[in-house]
Structure 1
């Protein structure tokens, strides 16, 4: 215990000696947590729409007004022909083109049908798909309103109607920030713990103090614990500040068991810090450690379920995500913070995280013993 106490005193003195780094550790995650959820919004809005209205009738003007009033579309302008509107799509100034042919109102009244032409800029598949779906739905609703004007509903409907009443659980207002904030907090916690621990032992190698430590009677697991615990404490401070920011800025309240959340964070920090220390034992310079950690961090982020659900990934990607500790953290944080999950719900994830923690830290201790 005296040995670990000595090592902890040494590590904390080194951390608090560099005031700038300490401020960055505390301030940068908070600033990122405030800014990133506001920018990482996957709701498609302000879709640029160009209109080719060759009818200029009350019905066509009413349709255009209905589309622009929906709040999804931003009218770029009117064009006399489809050939003049196409260059706007080629220049990425328009996302969709709606062509209303001549005789739109006449054919709609006389024949009861009329075709419209929609051209979609599909370079961004998500925006193109949603934009086309929004426009098609608005036109369909407009068509239904026109039919209701022509054929007033009778007192007794001839055909049966099914009424659907939906209820949104866990995120009633469908606020996308509620979905993103827990995931971004998980990524920030991973970055702080992973990068700091990855640079720790290798820093001792660069400045030459590792040789002095190796000739002391300090045991290898005591050395690893001395490197791990200070950043484990800092990780808990960063997570607590993140929860406060989530509450004060976004109004996200922890719905589940607070102790269960912290217990999972404690185990996760041991796992990710052990992973960083493992990288540090394999590298000789801080530059090497940073590049290797950056490689794994990109995998953790892109295959952790932050932006895309793991269920929608191909089979090989799902297998890799099972080896990604960040994916379990993001899942558990969303379960506890948004769904109100408790101990029973997170036990399978807790077991896997304990396994990660044991393997990574044991590997780091073994490899340090081998190379010392």
Structure 2
């Protein structure tokens, strides 16, 4: 135990003496957590629309007013030429064209139906799909309003309407940041711990001090613990600052679940992630190699863990990969505990899976360390 305490003292001194390393560990993750959720917002707004109005009726003006007041669309051009509207798309000044035909109001009143033409720039598939969906929904609401007013004007009561009332649980105002901040926080903690742990051990190889440590009476488990524990503590600290300072005071996120349960899973997750960093360090001889290998895994973690896209929408082979990385489970657990208030019975399977990751990664790292030393 005394040898381990000396090693821990040495590691903390090395970390805090490195003036270039400290901002990367403490400042960069906090700044990223403040900025990234503002950019990682998949709610598409400010869609540029070009309206081609051949009718110029009161109904067409009501529809255009409904579009512009929705908050999703910006009217970039209003005219009566589809060719001009198409030029707006070709020049990237418009994303969607709405063409209102002649006799739009007359057909809607006399015949009970009227056609509209929508053309979307599908280079950006997400924006085109969501923009078309928003536009279709607004047109549907406009149609329902017109029909309701017309029925009331005619004094008819035979038309039945279904009133749908929605209730959004756990995020009632559908604030996207509340969904993204916990996931981004997990990704940042993962990067800090795995990157720094792997680089710290490889640095010993480059300096040649690891050979001196190997010939000392220090046991290998003491050396490994001396390398892992400081970054385990740093991971706890970064997560706490991100959740209780940035999450609370910048984004207004207050955890509704059990904090002891959350930190218990965090402690186990950090063991698994640090085991990955240790494993990377055992197969790398230089810090450049360690950074390249770590970057390979981090990119997979970021894109396939369900942070930005739903795992259920991925192909089968991608879902298998997603279920094979520890970040996937921690992102899900953090969102469940922080936003839903889930208990241990809801995440006990996640605990068992993370125990498996921690045992597997650290065992492989220790075995590989023995082999290369």
Q: What is the SS of the residue equivalent to 1:62?
A: helix
2:243 aligned residue: 243
Q: What is the SS of the residue equivalent to 1:145?
A: helix
For 1:150 and 1:13, the matched residues in 2 are separated by: 78
Go from structure 1 to structure 2 and tell me whether the alpha carbon gap of 1:175 and 1:318 turns closer, same or farther (over 3 Å shift): same
Q: What is the SS of the residue equivalent to 2:48?
A: strand
1:4 aligns with 2:43: no
Superposition map of 1:100-139 within 5 A: 100-139=100-139
Matched-pair contact (CA < 8 Å) for 1:199–1:280? yes
Matched-pair contact (CA < 8 Å) for 1:267–1:354? yes
2:51 aligned residue: 51
Q: What is the SS of the residue equivalent to 1:151?
A: helix
TM-score, normalised relative to structure 1: 0.96
For 2:211 and 2:362, the matched residues in 1 are separated by: 21
For 2:102 and 2:167, the matched residues in 1 are separated by: 43
TM-score, normalised relative to structure 2: 0.96
Is there any run of 5+ residues in structure 2 with no aligned partner, and where? Answer: none
Q: What is the SS of the residue equivalent to 1:123?
A: coil
2:292 aligned residue: 291
Q: What is the SS of the residue equivalent to 1:19?
A: coil
Q: What is the SS of the residue equivalent to 2:347?
A: helix
Superposition map of 1:51-130 within 5 A: 51-130=51-130
For 1:242 and 1:113, the matched residues in 2 are separated by: 54
For 1:161 and 1:180, the matched residues in 2 are separated by: 37
2:368 aligned residue: 367
| Alpha-carbon offset, residue 210 of structure 1 | 1.4
For 2:196 and 2:12, the matched residues in 1 are separated by: 13
| Alpha-carbon offset, residue 81 of structure 1 | 1.2
Deviations 1:306-359 (A, max 9, x none): 111112211111111121100011000001000001222221111111111111
| Alpha-carbon offset, residue 161 of structure 1 | 4.6
Go from structure 1 to structure 2 and tell me whether the alpha carbon gap of 1:328 and 1:55 turns closer, same or farther (over 3 Å shift): same
1:331 aligns with 2:309: no
For 2:23 and 2:321, the matched residues in 1 are separated by: 35
Matched-pair contact (CA < 8 Å) for 2:60–2:100? yes
For the aligned residue pairs, the C-alpha RMSD in angstroms reads 1.6
Matched-pair contact (CA < 8 Å) for 1:257–1:343? no
2:208 aligned residue: 208
Count of residues paired in the alignment: 372
1:320 aligned residue: 321
